[in-house]
Amino acid sequence: MFTDKEISEINHLLIPENNIVIVTHHNPDGDAIGSSLGLKHYLKTKGIDATVITPNDFPKFLKWMPEAKQIVIGEYKRKVAGEAIYNADVIFCLDFNSPTRIGILGDWVTKSRAKKILIDHHQMPEQFDYVYSDTTVPATCQMVYHFIQANQDEKSVNIDIAQCLYTGIMTDTGGFRFRSTSATTHRIVADLIEKGSDPAIITSNTWDTNTISRLHLLSLVLSRIELTKEGKVAILWLKRSELKEYGFDKGDTEGFVNYGLSVLGTKMAVFFMEDLYEDFIKISFRSKDSVDTNQFARKHFNGGGHINASGGKYFKSMEETIEDFKEKIETEDF
Ligand code: 5GP
Ligand code: MN
């Protein structure tokens, strides 16, 4: 958490006269959108109208969240996003810790004169004016709640804040399953339910939204799942031509990689997907226990993230990428 002195300085900045911007990472997920909107709704209780900006669009299954429609999507509204960042006095950076993770916004945020406040749970944060970084917390949404607590403002948590923060905690913990899900997480979630977030409605809005294209792609991916490293690593992959053939929509492949990790005996799963427009392969890594995908992604695949969940990019063909991956994973010690 920020120090008391930092909290006091931050609170001096959080006044309606200041322009406050909230940015989150490329390909925003439930935690990115939930923490950004949750913080926006919290700032609203202080009379502040903050602007949430994402580098690119986010999946349909997150658009039900209160005020999701007001989010400025950088790839569609470059000018509005650029001007908001240029005029910002304060920029909250949520659920990422390096300008390289916010695409076209990276340069603008780096050059901005605004005070930059980081709230994030990924490994190895870069330089910001105020840093609240904790890799033991399962979701940035939980950290936003801790920030509200540090301001002694729990009573301000309303249904909008509660719904947004609940969603991000639910998605980033894989439905309260992943390793860093703690008793504290559940206590916070209990409070969010008391403040009006409905678990059944949120689950249904977020997860019972499969499109037929998603299910068909899933069936294809599952039909050819491959094990390597004596069954300890599961490999899944999809090519651009297949995405097109099945009518891929943003978010359709979210969570596919987890199926790899559900295979008995696996310690790591990897999902390779050709980008729809550009010539690279987006990679998702997931692992169990102490198998460190963050280090692996940083070292070999131009990426990073958390120990048990990270991502990266690779600039070769699918066949070469999978071959290179198999070679590199063989020498890893697990
Ligand atoms: P996903 O596989 O869901 O895209 O990403 C899993 C985690 O790794 C997320 O926490 C995300 O922030 C991080 N991540 C994904 N792709 C990259 C990347 O290219 N670089 C870095 N540093 N982190 C990534
Ligand atoms: Mn997160």
Find the 33 Cα to ligand 1 centroid distance in Å.
15
> Residue 140: nearest ligand to its CA?
2
Ligand closest to 311 (CA) is 1
Going 112 to 118 to 120 to 126, the CA torsion angle's sign is: positive
Indicate the top mutation candidate among 101, 254, 282 to test ligand 1's pocket, ranked by most ligand atoms within 8 A of CB.
101
| pLDDT higher than threshold 90 for residue 149 | yes
Instruction: Output the average pLDDT for the chain.
Output: 97
Q: Does the Cβ of 321 fall within 6 Å of ligand 1?
A: no
Rounded to whole angstroms, how far apart are CA atoms 293 and 284? 9
Residue 165's pLDDT band, with cuts at 50, 70 and 90, is very high
- Torsion angles phi and psi, residue 269, rounded to 5: -130, 145
Question: How far, in Å, from the CA of 172 to the mean position of ligand 2?
Answer: 6
In this prediction the pTM is 0.92
For residue 257, report the distance from its CA to the centre of ligand 2, in Å: 16
Confidence label for 249 from pLDDT (cuts 50, 70 and 90):
confident
Q: Which atom of ligand 1 is nearest to the CA of 172?
A: 10
Residue 157 Cα, ligand 1 centroid: separation in angstroms?
Answer: 29
Which H or E element spans position 257? helix 256-261
pLDDT at site 233: 98
Give the residue-averaged pLDDT of 26-50.
97
**Span of 46-50, 125-129, 178-182 with lowest mean pLDDT:** 178-182
Ligand nearest to the CA of 167: 2
Ligand 1 contact, 284 CB (< 6 A): yes
Q: Which atom of ligand 1 is nearest to the CA of 285?
A: 2
Q: Which domains does the chain have, with CATH numbers?
A: 4-207 (3.90.1640.10), 212-329 (3.10.310.30)
The pLDDT value given to residue 179 = 84
Query: Where does the chain show beta strands of DSSP type E?
Result: 20-24, 51-54, 72-73, 90-94, 115-120, 130-133, 226-228, 233-238, 268-274, 281-287, 304-305, 309-314
- Residue 250's pLDDT is 82
* Predicted pLDDT of residue 251: 84
Q: Does ligand 1 have an atom closer than 6 angstroms to the CB of 305?
A: yes
